[in-house]
């Protein structure tokens, strides 16, 4: 199989390079057009924040990895990217790599939830631009299957592995139904924004945002259907919230123990979660001693993240087994592509002989016996070819030894002169 | 039939041990196989227990409520059965180990010490007594389960507060859910205890001439009932929640245990039959 792939990713390149080579949808579409014109009959391009990868079936056998890399390198000549930054894969290793990518075990964050969707999107772009041919479709179907199996049959994607998500996971261990809870997210930096979006995704009942720059909070609030309160008044509203996540860059505490004590009293000691994911901290850590208050800072959330990462790493061997199963299944199918025409040629060859000989002798038989003759001769041919057909299929489907399959096909063709016969016919 | 019953009596605790074993395995390993098979095994254990109770009732011509070890086997069944219904209803599967272990203890003690009781006191043959004991046992099962969930709540509460994210954190449902389960179990327990008390009040004058409402067992039960009543009212009407409520439930359970021990084994009472 002549699938060829190059990848620049977090294993081989720093974030600046990965960012530089990241391709948006339009850039991918342009690159597809160029690759179709010059190198590949079919292929696929995956580009995420941690990887940019090109897969393809070359039009000509002389296509090299450098030819493909050149397309990416030339896009960002100012970065002077050399070939060592690229991982290179061919045939089975290319398929294997794609399966590892789709199942999340090659991701920077092992078990990454987004990569399967990103792979599907990439395939859709190829499909939309006639870049996904018969073979690539099958490769990517198998990759998606491997990714789905990894997700459902193992715990590779279980548990939070980012601090923002760990905060939400911890909140879910305290409250049964987030739909009935209200949350306040303070600080609209990247962490605060992600936390707010996670809460919205989890169906939080009422979401409120606060930020020193009101406009920033208002903009996000509009995007995720949240309310906004003025930053200066957060302590006055504290008792209204079951969950408070703070992620500002304030140098001092913005929520003090007395504020929390007053709020919890107003709340009749109903459970309140305070997630302080800011550095330096925003909420007085002494609040953890108040009854009904669950205070957690970035260190405690990091414990959850570390535990989940370790658990995901422990799942990698299980995912590798799934990948191996899917590789075997895929190459069984692929090898059978090669064997099917060979079997057909063999059967045609015998059928031609049978038909020719029957034709010569057919007039010697009565009308009734002519039908019997047809049936009888066909049965003989079938019996003769049954064992070789089964053996060839078995060898091909085992996917273990391609050479063995090729040798067997070669011997058969040579012994019976099948190709010669075809050529003679032409 | 008696020999079949004896064999069942030996096998039944093994069923419970096997069930608790698979719940234990699943608690530590969380595999999909053990997660599904533990429920199936619990169902078969309960089925076998029903068969055993029916067989016992037929063999000795009275329901198995006439001595403390018969009571234990019914209690073992009631606790596990109540849990089974809860697991089916809520699909919360991580807490079974802590509840079924109670059935294991009761059933093991029962199987070791239970006797073939063919002659029972006339007073124990009343149908009203059967209803009284059955509702009381189910009521106590309810408050036992409530206390177990309360206890799990306190462990998880402490683990979260102390940033210990171990197996309990992994396997338990949320604190709020544990509180809900404890509350619902307590409500069911309280209602059934109320039924038991009402039936007892009706039955008492008919069965005994020398009864007294100041009997230690009655006072103990009344205290437990009152405590749960106050706890439930505080939650429903007073808006109590969280730790305060589950501590109330645990205190109620401990009081119930203390009351049972004192009145059954220490105090002299017309209400002691065994």
Strand partners, B174: none
Is A309 an interface residue toward B (CB < 8 Å)?
A: no
Q: How far is CA A337 from CA A247, A405, B43, in A?
A: 57, 12, 50
Residue A173: list chain B partners with CB under 8 A.
Answer: 156, 160, 169, 172, 174-175
Share of chain B above pLDDT 90, in %: 36
User: Is A92 one of the annotated active-site residues of the chain?
Assistant: no
Query: Which two tokens mark B127?
Result: 């149908």
**pLDDT tens sequence across B238-256:** 778 888 888 888 998 898 8
Q: Which of A151, A169, A173, A264 would best serve as a mutation to test chain B binding (most B beta carbons within 10 A)?
A: A173
Closest B-chain CA to A305: B165
**Closest-CA distance of chain A to residue B9, Å:** 40
Question: What pLDDT sits at residue A399?
Answer: 55
Model confidence pLDDT, tens digit, residues B106-153? 999 999 988 887 677 776 677 778 888 888 888 989 999 999 999 999
A4-158 with A163-305: one CATH topology? Answer: no
Query: Of A406, A423, A425, which Cα lies nearest the Cα of A342?
Result: A406
Of the candidates B169, B241, B243, the beta carbon closest to that of A173 is on B169
Answer yes or no: is pLDDT of A420 > 50.
no
Overall CATH class of domain A163-305: alpha beta
Cis peptide before A280 (omega within 30 of 0): yes
Task: Calculate the average pLDDT of chain B.
Answer: 86
Q: How many whole angstroms separate alpha carbon A367 and alpha carbon A379?
A: 19
C-beta separation of B93 from B35 below 8 A: yes
Question: What per-residue confidence (pLDDT) applies to A424?
Answer: 40
ipTM of the complex: 0.81
In whole angstroms, what is the distance from residue A91 CA to residue A105 CA? 20
Which residue has better confidence, B223 or A318?
Answer: A318
CA atoms within 13 A on the CB side of B203: 18
pLDDT at A422: 41
Cβ-Cβ contacts under 8 Å for A318 (sequence gap 6 or more):
A153, A154, A156
Tell whether A249 is within 8 A of chain B (Cβ).
no
Cross-chain Cβ contact A271/B244 below 8 Å? no
Instruction: Write the pLDDT tens digit of every residue in A199-219.
Output: 998 899 999 999 999 999 999
Among all chains, which residue has been given the structure tokens 């245990």?
B257
**Per-position DSSP letters for B65-77, written without gaps between them:** -SSHHHHHHHHHH
Q: Which CATH number does A4-158 carry?
A: 3.30.460.30
Cα end-to-end span (Å), chain A? 29
Cβ separation B176–A271 shorter than 8 A: yes
Structure tokens at A291: 């009854």
Asked if A139 contacts A330 with a C-beta cutoff of 8 angstroms, the reply is yes
Contact B174 A288 (CB under 8 A): no
Contact B241 A271 (CB under 8 A): yes
Return the residue of A nearest to B90 by Cα.
Answer: A176
Of residues A262 and A1, the one with the higher pLDDT is A262
DSSP string, B202-215: HHHHHH-SS--TT-
Please judge whether B242 and A269 are an interchain contact, meaning their C-beta atoms are less than 8 angstroms apart: yes
Q: Look at residue B270 in the predicted model and tell me its pLDDT.
A: 52
In the A/B pair of chains, how many CB contacts fall below 8 A?
45
Interchain pair B177, A307: CB under 8 A? no
Domain boundaries, chain A: 4-158, 163-305, 330-425
């Amino acid at each position: 199989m002549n699938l060829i792939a190059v990848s620049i990713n977090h294993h081989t390149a720093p974030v600046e390079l990965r960012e530089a080579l990241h391709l948006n949808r339009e850039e991918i579409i342009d690159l597809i057009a160029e690759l179709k014109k010059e190198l590949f009959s079919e292929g696929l391009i995956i580009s995420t924040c941690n990887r940019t990868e090109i897969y393809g079936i070359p039009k000509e056998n002389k296509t090299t990895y450098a030819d493909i890399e050149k397309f990416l390198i030339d896009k960002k000549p100012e970065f002077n990217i050399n070939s060592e930054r690229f991982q290179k894969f061919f045939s089975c290793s290319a398929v294997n790599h794609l399966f590892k990518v789709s199942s999340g075990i090659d991701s920077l964050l092992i078990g990454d939830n987004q990569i399967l969707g990103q792979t599907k999107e990439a395939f859709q772009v190829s499909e939309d631009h006639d870049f996904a041919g018969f073979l690539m479709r099958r490769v990517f179907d198998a990759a998606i299957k491997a990714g789905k199996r990894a997700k459902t049959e193992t715990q590779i994607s279980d548990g939070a592995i980012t601090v923002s998500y760990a905060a939400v996971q911890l909140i879910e261990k305290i409250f049964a139904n987030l739909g009935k809870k209200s949350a306040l997210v303070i600080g609209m930096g990247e962490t605060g924004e992600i936390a707010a979006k996670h809460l919205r995704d989890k169906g939080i009942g009422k979401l409120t945002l606060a930020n020193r720059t009101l406009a920033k909070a208002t903009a996000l609030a509009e995007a995720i259907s949240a309310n906004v309160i003025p930053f200066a008044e957060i302590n006055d509203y504290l008792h209204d919230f079951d969950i408070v996540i703070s992620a500002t860059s304030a140098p001092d505490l913005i929520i003090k123990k007395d504020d929390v004590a007053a709020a919890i009293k107003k709340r009749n000691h109903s459970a309140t979660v305070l997630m302080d994911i800011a550095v330096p901290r925003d909420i007085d850590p002494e609040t953890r001693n108040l009854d009904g208050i669950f205070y957690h800072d970035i260190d405690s959330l990091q414990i959850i993240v570390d535990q989940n990462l370790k658990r995901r790493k422990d799942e990698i061997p299980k995912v590798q087994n799934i990948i191996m199963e899917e590789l075997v299944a895929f190459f069984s199918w692929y090898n059978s592509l090669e064997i099917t025409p060979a079997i057909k040629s063999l059967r045609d060859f015998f059928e031609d002989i049978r038909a020719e000989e029957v034709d010569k002798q057919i007039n010697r038989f009565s009308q009734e016996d002519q039908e019997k003759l047809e049936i009888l001769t066909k049965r003989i041919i079938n019996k003769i070819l049954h064992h070789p057909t089964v053996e060839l299929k078995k060898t091909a489907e085992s996917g273990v030894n391609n050479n063995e399959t090729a040798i067997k096909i070669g011997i058969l063709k040579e012994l019976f002169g099948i190709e010669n016969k075809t050529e003679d016919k032409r | 039939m008696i020999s079949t019953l004896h064999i069942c009596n030996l096998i039944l605790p093994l069923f419970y041990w096997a069930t608790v074993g698979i719940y234990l395995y699943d608690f530590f390993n969380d595999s999909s196989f053990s997660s599904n098979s533990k429920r199936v095994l619990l169902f078969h254990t309960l089925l076998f227990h029903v068969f055993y109770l029916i067989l016992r009732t037929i063999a000795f011509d009275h329901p198995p409520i006439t001595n403390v070890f018969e009571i234990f086997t019914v209690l073992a069944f009631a606790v596990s059965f109540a849990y089974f219904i809860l697991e089916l209803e809520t699909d919360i599967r991580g807490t079974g180990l802590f509840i079924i272990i109670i059935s294991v203890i009761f059933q093991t003690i029962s199987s070791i010490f239970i006797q073939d009781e063919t002659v029972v006191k006339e007073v124990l043959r009343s149908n009203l007594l059967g209803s009284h004991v059955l509702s009381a046992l189910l009521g106590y099962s309810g408050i036992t389960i409530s206390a177990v969930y309360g206890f799990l709540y306190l462990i998880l509460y402490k683990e979260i507060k102390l940033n210990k994210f171990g197996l309990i954190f992994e396997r338990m449902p949320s604190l709020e859910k544990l509180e809900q389960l404890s509350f619902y179990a307590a409500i069911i327990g309280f209602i059934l205890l109320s039924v038991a008390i009402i039936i007892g009040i009706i039955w008492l004058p008919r069965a005994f001439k020398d009864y007294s409402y100041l009997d230690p067992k009655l006072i103990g039960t009344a205290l437990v009932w009152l405590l749960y009543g106050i706890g439930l009212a505080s939650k429903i009407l007073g808006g109590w929640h969280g730790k305060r409520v589950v501590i109330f439930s645990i205190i109620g359970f401990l009081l119930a245990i203390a009351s049972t021990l004192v009145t059954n084994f220490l105090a002299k009472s017309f209400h002691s039959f065994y």
